[in-house]
Amino acid sequence: MIVGLIVACEVAFWVLLAAGLAFRYLLKMPRTGLALLLCEPLLELVLFAVTAIDLKNGAEPDWRHGLAAVYIGFTVGLGHSTIKWADARVAHRFAGGPPPVRPPKYGTARAVHEWKVAGRWILASVVAIALLQAAVWYVGDEGGTGSLRAWQLRMVWVIGINVIIAASYTLFPRREPAKLP
């Protein structure tokens, strides 16, 4: 049931995003579009509530509950930037907006960009770790929380990988190719 709800939340995320942008730019109803986009967090609240109720009703904590926490964390950390990304492209394509800004390719500007990206992934992982820890406390010592702890370890790996990637752009920045005279 939890996995089905996670899939439904993901599908609903993209449906609400598409509908919100369609109302905003194609149908020229920006308030309705904004209202649809603001419904996105409700999906995570429903998933959170159903997961908590499932655990409270005695379900053995397993990978599905961990996946729900990770999904919520990633939506918190990456959802806003995904919506901004899609909004910029739809505005450009259908509403005469400016072309989307491309990330810088070289030097310090690229390193700063990579740290911002890493920050979003780190936020997503920290939220997931916190939700997983809350689930461990919620279930208590008598519940089998090994799978939740395993998800926490995976999130630490995500943090480490993102720090390494961002640090590599800081320590070894790409240089702009020399221009021919």
Identify the CA nearest to 107 among candidates 167, 174, 166, 172: 174
- Please give the pLDDT value at position 172: 94
Q: Give the pLDDT confidence of 131-175 residue by residue, as tens digits.
A: 999 999 988 867 688 899 999 999 999 999 999 999 999 999 988
Q: Give the pLDDT confidence of 10-32 residue by residue, as tens digits.
A: 999 999 999 999 999 999 999 99
Is pLDDT of 176 > 80?
Answer: yes
- Please give the pLDDT value at position 163: 98
Q: Is the dihedral of CA 134, 138, 141, 143 positive or negative?
A: negative
Section 27-40 average pLDDT:
93
Is pLDDT of 48 > 80?
Answer: yes
Residue 12 and residue 75 in contact, taking contact as beta carbons nearer than 8 Å: no
- Please give the pLDDT value at position 21: 95
- Please give the pLDDT value at position 139: 85
Section 106-122 average pLDDT:
96
- Please give the pLDDT value at position 145: 85
If DSSP states are collapsed to H, E and C, what string results for the chain? CHHHHHHHHHHHHHHHHHHHHHHHHHCCCHHHHHHHHHCHHHHHHHHHHHHHHHHHCCCCCCHHHHHHHHHHHHHHHHHHHHHHHHHHHHHHHHHCCCCCCCCCCCHHHHHHHHHHHHHHHHHHHHHHHHHHHHHHHHHCCCCCCHHHHHHHHHHHHHHHHHHHHHHHHHHCCCCCCCCCC
